[in-house]
Structure 1
Amino acid sequence: MQDHLLINIVLLLIAAVITVSISRRLHFPPILGYIIVGIIVGPHAFGWIDKEENIELLAEFGIVFLLFGIGLEFSFSQMVAMRKQVFGLGTAQVLTTAVVIYLIGHFAGLDANTSIVIAGAFALSSTAIVIKQLTEQSEIHSRHGRSTVGILIFQDIMAIPLLILIPTLAMSGGEENALTWALGIAFFKGVLVVIIMHVIGKYMLRPLFHEVASAKSQELFTLTVLTVAISAAAFTEEMGLSMTLGAFLAGMMLSETEYRHQIESDIRPFQDILLGLFFVTVGMIISLEILFNNFLMIIGLTVAIIFVKGVILYSISRVFDKEPGVSARISLSLSQVGEFGLVLMTLAFTYKLLPEEEGNILLTAAVISMAIAPFMVKFNGHIARMLHKDSYKADHNEIATTISEDNKHISDHVILCGFGRVGQTVGRFLHSSNRAFLALDMDIKRVHEARAAGERVYYGDASKQTILEAAALRKSKIVIITFSDFHASMKILKTIRSMDPDIPVLVRTLDDQHVNELTEAGANEVVPDTFESSIMLASHLLLMIGHPPSQVLKQTRNIRKNRYQTLANFYPGEGDNPLEQHQVMKGIIHSIHLDESTYAVAKKLKTLKLKRFDVNVDAIKRGHVRGENPSSETTLRLNDHLVISGLPEDIKRAEKFIKTGKYTKKSHAKYAL
């Protein structure tokens, strides 16, 4: 059974579903869930799968699609905008870390090849874990967030030559002359491949995707994306280089086309699943016996990795004039080993460049550092404040003092939390109305640009009480939160309400899925983008077809006055699942046909008492006539269509009663979750 690929994959999928679900519940990264699956099913634990070679090919495709996806994200303009962080901080961090770890390995008695592999692998950090965690914490545009992202971009760039280096080291056999010759050949091949891929990308890929897109076939488009990614990988492999290099270059070529976002969404399912299989194979390499036998050594190595990388990152950040608190947050965010480090070490095992036992010990320490990473990123602010209490507080106070000094005479003003496109649009309306306002934003570049243009915009975290006090919250007229990030809005809203329970707060959100939570947290008004765009579109339509402006204005006012309740329910389609977590509180509209067997036929609406099911009777369709908001005295007839709205569970109970006359009490189980 263990030699059958299909049985192996079924076992993996079952274990993955269970383990990754538990990891999600515990807020662990899915990567760690997959690694745990590999440990469980691998030859060193239960031994359900003795030969990881059976899934190695699929796992390699996972890395191919990972590099292809990173290539799609690889924007030249983004690098230019962040050149100081990318090529300054990033270069210094990777080179310094690699040299220090190489020297440590050398003095510890490791051979040159092993030291090179470990130095390259440990110099890299986890893009997947760090970016995800920073985004969830709304810190991606903060000072430490931008520097962290810049370093990660350079690390991703450096992963490519490191992936070329591994097979080159194996070819050289460790001899210095042979290594120099092999590196020279690899460099020449690499340059040739880049030129060829650039020509193909410029003169063939764009016309190809234009032609494919014109066919308007989703299947053909996805098939073409897969063909391009795998063909590029096969090409570089035939050239004696890593196939991941070809995938990265193909992604980079396609990132310049207008199809980038569509390609990214098409490739994502393949990338996530196959990449998961790669991390499963990493887990299968890890030996529980080695972990238990060398537990203290592995824990010591993990601490050493975090400490050495942390000290280097902190020192380099200080050299680049970053404040002590910001430097500490950068070092805490990036002091783990990343997925590319695991890729390099796994590749080194394949080419016999890492001794099995020592390599397994180092690999296990790297995985544990990744397990700790989400928590270090999450609490980087708290730890930084503990380490640099005085300087951190002084820096924070300096920001607050600047805001306070500039606005000491301001009152009855509007506070804009967020100065992106929506915030700037609101600001222009306030300008034209001669209404004073000040804006708080965490994007340094945007703040500098706006302040240089004379806008009253300040760098500051609006979720901090000191910043809101400096912005004269208690003397302001109203606060507007314009961030699209729900978590950021909630943090700000809770801080505002802890300071002033009465000040009006207007919150913008992308859609209606968080309206209730924001309202319960203290928002006076919540404006969902989707509803407002629908209202504006409908208003323009009515005006264009000749409806009186006063009537249109009255309709839109009523909708907003009722907090969009009129628009809250929708007819569900095949692609909609109202019971999904993010749609639990969203209502639907449902039509019930009254046939000969229906209990409600010949009964008045008032006798049915449908209100007890928490549903609303919107209309009755009789023949070709639809009657809106029917009277409770209306008698239902055969072949009527009764249109009701409410939550899916309530609709189901009401329909059962209408059809059979049987009353079922409401279950509160799902609301208790």
Structure 2
Amino acid sequence: MEFILYLAIILIATKLAGALSVKLGQPAVLGKLLAGIIIGPALLGWIHPDDFIGHFSEIGVLLLMFIAGLETDLDQLKSNWKASFAVALGGILLPFVGGYGMGKAFGLTSGQSMFLGLLMCATSVSISVQTLKEMNKLQTREGTTILGAAVVDDVVVVILLAVMMSVLLPVSDVSIGLVIGKKLIFFAVVLVAGWLLVPRFLKWFEPLKVTEAVMSAGLIVCFAFSYFAEEMGIAGIIGAFAAGIAISQTKFKHQVESKIEPIAFTLFVPVFFVSIGLHITFDGVGEQLWFIILLTIVACITKLIGGGVGARLTGFDNRSSLAIGAGMVSRGEVALIIAASGLESGLLLQKYFTSIVLVVILTTLITPPLLKMTLKERQRA
């Protein structure tokens, strides 16, 4: 019954830390992330990462992105596709150069430095989504551009990873054509399913004489899309986001959204926030302190400027561009997945793995206050 105690501690810690964070003028999500560090192995050691935490947090991030999809204005997403591409491109080029330069400066080989550069290109906007939602900015032009850019970023980075592994590894069975083909299949299937199948599926479930039939149908679509995304080599959060957009085009949008939010934000999303902090450990950090500090600075500045320049070139003013760049800073679970892949293939040295995890988590912690600060400046203007 230990997991019951874990849940109680997580819920108490996240709610109290979130409330304190708001009182101090910061987004609630920052307090929830810090709660994970406090109650995790780094400090108090009350909770340690395990399969239970892992499964609950995975559901939490999928539901968070599913809700983001439900709340996304599809017309605005379509009208901002050029900006999303530009932001994603800027948020890939500059971080890659910065990461490669850091690798060479610390004596890594060219291949290892290229992988570090690719790692810095990753973006995960699940934390930005929560911050934007708290500030009622998720449906703004800036919020929609950040979401669109994150989708493009994820696809491009996965393709670049396949290219890099096929070139750098002596024996690699990675087929670049297959990787690109799977991405195209995913978007084609999701587009057709979202347009033709999802509305019919929800209508078919609606008259069933069972409890919460429509909401259950919505969850089935969310998890099915997420699983399909993973099978096609794309992050599950992109599948969940696509499922939310598909359902948002039906008459069931508000019904699903109103029922799913209490479940997500009461139980699963808090576990996701805490799980990020649970990966923090300070063992051996002293030996690589400068590497962690400098790489964190490079990671933040390159995304901020790269994404911001992309936004500026597509018509956003300076303040909005800065806010969009800030929303792209968090590397989150996407970078952790790439890091694990690099460790397994030998492109990332074992001694740097913990440091990379710390950098990823630090970028995630920096994003909420940075995003709030830039959006507040925009609001004042």
Same fold per superposition (TM over 0.5): yes
5+ unaligned residues in a row in structure 2: which ranges? none
Is the partner of 1:48 in helix, strand or coil? coil
Would you say 1:118 and 2:120 are equivalent positions?
Answer: yes
Provide the residue aligned with 1:365 in structure 2.
362
Change beyond 3 A, Cα 1:329–1:299: farther
> In the alignment, which of 364, 377, 381 is matched to residue 380 of structure 1?
377
CA offsets, 1:434-478, max 9 Å, x none?
A: xxxxxxxxxxxxxxxxxxxxxxxxxxx9x99xxxxxxxxxxxxxx
Please tell me the root mean square deviation across aligned C-alpha atoms, in Å. 3.9
> How do 1:391-470 residues align onto structure 2 when only pairs under 5 Å count?
none
SS in 2 for 1:121: coil
Which residue in 1 is equivalent to 2:41? 43
Cα 1:39–1:349 shift into 2, 3 Å: farther
Provide closer, same or farther for how the CA distance between residues 59 and 15 of structure 1 changes in structure 2, counting only shifts above 3 A: same
Q: What is the number of equivalent residue pairs in this alignment?
A: 368
Superposed, which structure 2 residues align to 1:148-187 within 5 Å?
148-149=142-143, 151-161=145-155, 164=158, 175=169, 178=172, 181=175, 183-187=176-180
AA in 2 matched with 1:193: F
The structural deviation recorded for 1:46 is: 1.8
| Deviations 1:628-648 (CA, angstroms, capped at 9, x unpaired) | xxxxxxxxxxxxxxxxxxxxx
In the aligned structure 2, how far is the partner of 1:163 from the partner of 1:286?
A: 25
How far did residue 309 of structure 1 move?
A: 3.7
Distance 1:259 1:9 in 2: 31
Q: For the residues of structure 2 that align with 1:228 and 1:93, how far apart are their CA atoms?
A: 33
2:50 counterpart letter in structure 1: E
Match of 2:21 among 20, 23, 28: 23
User: 8 Å contact 2:119–2:335 — kept in the other structure?
Assistant: yes
Equivalent residue for 1:233, pick from 215, 226, 239: 226
Overall identity of the aligned pairs, in %: 20
Match of 1:348 in 2: 338
Match of 2:326? Answer: 335
The Cα of 1:48 is off from its aligned counterpart by 1.6
Following superposition of structure 1 onto structure 2, how do residues 273-284 of structure 1 map, counting pairs within 5 Å?
Answer: 273-284=267-278
| Residue number in structure 2 paired with 1:250 | 243
Do the aligned partners of residues 118 and 304 (structure 1) sit closer, same or farther apart at CA in structure 2, a change above 3 Å counting? closer
Question: C-alpha offsets along residues 341-396 of structure 1, whole Å, 9 cap, x if unaligned?
Answer: 21212323554546422213412431342254145325535xxxxxxxxxxxxxxx
Larger Rg: 1
- State the distance in 2 between where 1:163 and 1:62 align: 23
Alignment of 1:23-172 (within 5 A): 23-87=21-85, 89-108=86-105, 109=108, 110-121=112-123, 126-130=128-132, 132-133=134-135, 135=137, 146=141, 148-149=142-143, 151-161=145-155, 164=158
Q: Are 1:5 and 1:54, in contact at CA under 8 Å, matched by a contact in 2?
A: yes
Q: If the length of structure 1 is used for normalisation, what is the TM-score?
A: 0.47
Deviations 1:104-145 (A, max 9, x none): 344343443332122223899934325644749xxx87xxxx
The alpha-carbon deviation at position 56 of structure 1 amounts to 0.1
Q: Which stretch of structure 1 is more off in the superposition, 32-41 or 241-250? A: 241-250
**AA aligned opposite 1:347:** I
Give SS of 1:335's match: helix
SS at 2:172 equivalent: helix
Alpha-carbon deviation of 1:58? 0.9
Residues in 2 aligned to 1:290 and 1:118: alpha-carbon distance in whole angstroms = 22
Deviations 1:181-206 (A, max 9, x none): 1x432322232233333443344321
Query: Is the contact made by 2:165 and 2:174 (CA closer than 8 Å) also made in structure 1?
Result: no
Letter in 2 for 1:348: I
Q: How far does residue 331 in structure 1 lie from its aligned partner after superposition?
A: 2.0
> Which residue, 221, 224, 229 being the options, matches 2:217?
224
**Mean Cα deviation higher: 290-299 or 39-48:** 290-299
Higher helix share: 2
Bigger shift: 260-269 or 328-337?
328-337
Alpha-carbon distance between aligned partners in 2 of 1:124 and 1:259, rounded to the nearest angstrom: 24
- 2:197 is the alignment partner of 1:204: yes
Alpha-carbon distance, 1:284 to partner: 0.7
Pairwise mapping of residues 507-586 of structure 1 onto structure 2 (< 5 A)? none
Counterpart of 1:153, as a letter, is L
Find the aligned partners of 2:89 and 2:274 in 1 and give their Cα distance: 33
**Aligned CA distance change for structure 1 residues 118 and 351 (closer, same or farther; 3 Å):** same
Shift of 1:259: 1.6
**2:7 maps to amino acid:** I
CA contact (8 A) 1:63 1:275 kept: yes
- Which residue identity is paired with 2:198? L
> Is contact 2:81-2:148 (8 Å) kept?
no
Instruction: Compute the displacement of 1:67 (Å).
Output: 2.9
